[in-house]
């Protein structure tokens, strides 16, 4: 332990340029690492702490941190399938390959290879969207919120009314509020019904009162919560029966059939079949693709959205477009989609599969690992009441679980678990088979 504010120790610290000269790195990085290392040493000396015996080694370690990309692959052991903080849906292998191809050089993003004329980036997915959803037309933008913004702007701006149930004036992650989106679109919000009960006649009255000023009815799926008890809402079929354009924001983008866990999520095809003018959803939630916003529906409304000035500002980039095309292509074979799209695979993981993966993980970790049971969640604002029970590995370590979780986050690659009942819990549902050994290797540090 050094003396607090020891002047001789402080004077003995090297100059930044001297320490930087010992590091094999570009000058700017070497200087940044050296400056941080010296500042750490200075703080330690002033506080009477232990100074580093090898300042060059500490600077080298800091240099490695500076050179590491900020955006990293992490291992999701939380059990939250569509984890917003971890990038939501992991991509299928074919989608990852498509991104690599698109990033490796030039592409025909907006070129018609047959005619040589300028094409549209929408051409790469519109036919697929129509085929899979049953819609007349479709387009994609950069995320789900953008899809809702563009849909309302296309059908109700400037100044026309958008009718929304008070029970659907929701806020989702990141402060995204439906009334504010409508205001930004240039439309005028007309609220109907109450927070718990809205009936068809409420919409009928609003439509009659608005007359020609009515742009559309907006129906919003309350993705991240559920109202239960004395509640009532109007089906998309009944709304479309009013003869008024309906925008249906179905949220998470369910295209898969026959998956029991998705039974309560609104399906894209149902809204299209009902006659909605535009159906909006995200691409990176239950659809299992990249960040994107999908709009499908009738030809006229889709054309209005495509030609609106906002469409260019909200357009999807080529890498996301490549991943989306590959993901949608998998849905042409429903069984293949369920096998290869990670989100769908995780939702349908059997107890036998989870138990086997859990046993492998526990064996690789050692005696500190205990197999118990817990519940996983879908996440991403989808199916908030659904609990997916299954086996997990709990760590019985003689250490603060918060510190253990922090140490795992510093591993390479980082491991993200959760703390439950005073222990770090690792859920195999959100781990791929080839990630089990990586998680076990990361635990060699904390244990």
Q: What is the DSSP letter of 420?
A: E
pLDDT tens track for 303-341: 999 999 999 999 999 999 999 999 999 999 999 999 999
Q: Is the pLDDT of residue 223 over 90?
A: no
* Per-residue burial over 15-40, b = 16 or more CB atoms within 10 Å of its CB, e = otherwise: ebeebbeebebeeeebbbbbbbbbeb
In DSSP terms, 189 is beta-bridged to: 162
Average pLDDT over residues 353-382: 92
Q: Is the pLDDT of residue 446 over 50?
A: no
pLDDT tens track for 179-212: 998 999 999 999 999 999 999 999 999 999 998 8
What pLDDT is attached to residue 4? 57
**C-alpha 94: how far from its chain's center?**
19
Q: Is the pLDDT of residue 444 over 80?
A: no
C-alpha–C-alpha distance, residues 221 and 281, integer Å: 10
- Selected residue with higher pLDDT from 345 and 10: 345
Residue with tokens 């009960």: 197
What pLDDT is attached to residue 243? 94
- Selected residue with higher pLDDT from 175 and 170: 170
pLDDT tens track for 411-432: 989 999 999 999 999 999 999 9
Average pLDDT over residues 252-273: 92
What pLDDT is attached to residue 174? 66
In DSSP terms, 217 is beta-bridged to: 163, 246
Q: Is the pLDDT of residue 250 over 80?
A: yes
C-alpha–C-alpha distance, residues 190 and 181, integer Å: 13
Q: Place 157 in a pLDDT band, splitting at 50, 70 and 90.
A: confident
Q: Is the pLDDT of residue 49 over 80?
A: no
Q: Place 173 in a pLDDT band, splitting at 50, 70 and 90.
A: low
Q: Place 9 in a pLDDT band, splitting at 50, 70 and 90.
A: confident
Closest CA to 435 of 364, 387, 368: 364
Q: Can you tell me whether residue 306 is helix, strand or coil?
A: helix
Percentage of the chain exceeding pLDDT 70: 96
Q: Place 447 in a pLDDT band, splitting at 50, 70 and 90.
A: very low
Q: Is the pLDDT of residue 55 over 80?
A: yes
Q: Is the pLDDT of residue 53 over 80?
A: no
Tokens coding 314: 């909200």
Q: Is the pLDDT of residue 2 over 70?
A: no
Tokens coding 311: 């469409």
Q: Is the pLDDT of residue 51 over 50?
A: yes
Please report, in angstroms and rounded to a whole number, the separation of the first and last CA atoms in the chain: 27
Please tell me the pTM assigned to this model. Answer: 0.90
Q: Place 352 in a pLDDT band, splitting at 50, 70 and 90.
A: very high
What pLDDT is attached to residue 1? 43
- Selected residue with higher pLDDT from 1 and 281: 281
β-pair type (171-172, 293-297): unpaired
Tokens coding 29: 């990085």
What pLDDT is attached to residue 45? 85
Q: Which has the minimum average pLDDT: 38-47, 93-102, 116-125?
A: 38-47
What pLDDT is attached to residue 10? 81
Q: Which helix (H) or strand (E) holds 110?
A: none
Break the chain down into helix, strand, coil percent, rounded to 5. Answer: 45, 20, 35
Mean pLDDT, the chain, rounded, equals 92
C-alpha–C-alpha distance, residues 300 and 122, integer Å: 16
């Amino acid at each position: 332990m050094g003396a607090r504010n020891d002047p001789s120790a402080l004077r003995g610290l090297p100059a930044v340029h001297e320490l930087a000269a010992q590091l094999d790195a570009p000058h700017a990085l070497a200087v940044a690492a050296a400056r941080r290392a010296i500042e750490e040493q200075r703080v330690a000396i002033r506080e009477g702490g232990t100074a580093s015996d090898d300042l060059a080694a500490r600077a080298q370690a800091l240099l490695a941190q500076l050179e590491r990309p900020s955006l990293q692959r992490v291992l999701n052991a939380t059990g939250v399938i569509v984890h917003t903080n971890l990038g939501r849906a992991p991509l299928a292998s074919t989608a990852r390959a498509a991104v690599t191809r698109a990033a490796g050089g030039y592409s025909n993003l907006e070129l018609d290879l047959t005619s040589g004329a300028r094409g549209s980036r929408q051409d790469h997915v519109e036919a697929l969207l129509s085929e899979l959803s049953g819609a007349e037309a479709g387009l994609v933008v950069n995320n789900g919120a953008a899809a809702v913004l563009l849909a309302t702007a296309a059908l109700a701006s400037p100044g026309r009314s958008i009718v929304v149930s008070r029970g659907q004036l929701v806020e989702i992650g990141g402060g995204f509020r439906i009334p504010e989106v409508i205001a930004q679109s240039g439309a005028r919000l007309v609220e109907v019904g109450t927070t718990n009960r809205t009936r068809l006649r409420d919409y009928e009255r609003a439509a009659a009162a608005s007359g020609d000023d009515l742009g559309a009815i907006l129906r919003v799926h309350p993705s991240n919560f559920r109202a239960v008890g004395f509640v009532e809402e109007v089906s998309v079929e009944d709304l479309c029966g009013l003869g008024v354009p309906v925008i249906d924001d179905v949220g998470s983008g369910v295209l898969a059939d026959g998956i029991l866990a998705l039974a309560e999520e609104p399906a894209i095809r149902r809204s299209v079949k009902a006659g909605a003018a535009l159906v909006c959803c995200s691409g990176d939630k239950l659809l299992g693709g990249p960040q994107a916003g999908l709009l499908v529906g009738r030809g006229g409304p889709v054309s209005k959205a495509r030609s609106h000035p906002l469409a260019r500002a909200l357009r999807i980039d080529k890498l996301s477009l490549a991943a989306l095309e590959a993901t949608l292509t998998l849905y042409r074979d429903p069984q293949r989609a369920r096998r290869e799209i990670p989100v769908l695979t995780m939702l349908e993981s059997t107890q036998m599969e989870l138990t086997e993966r859990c046993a492998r993980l526990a064996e690789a970790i050692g005696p500190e690992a205990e197999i118990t049971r817990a519940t996983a969640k879908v996440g991403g604002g989808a199916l908030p009441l659904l609990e997916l029970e299954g086996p997990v590995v709990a760590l019985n370590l003689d250490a603060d679980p918060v510190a253990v979780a922090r140490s795992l986050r510093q591993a390479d690659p980082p491991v993200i678990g959760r703390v439950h009942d005073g222990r770090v819990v690792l859920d195999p549902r959100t781990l791929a088979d080839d990630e089990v050994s990586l998680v076990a290797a990361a635990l060699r540090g904390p244990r």
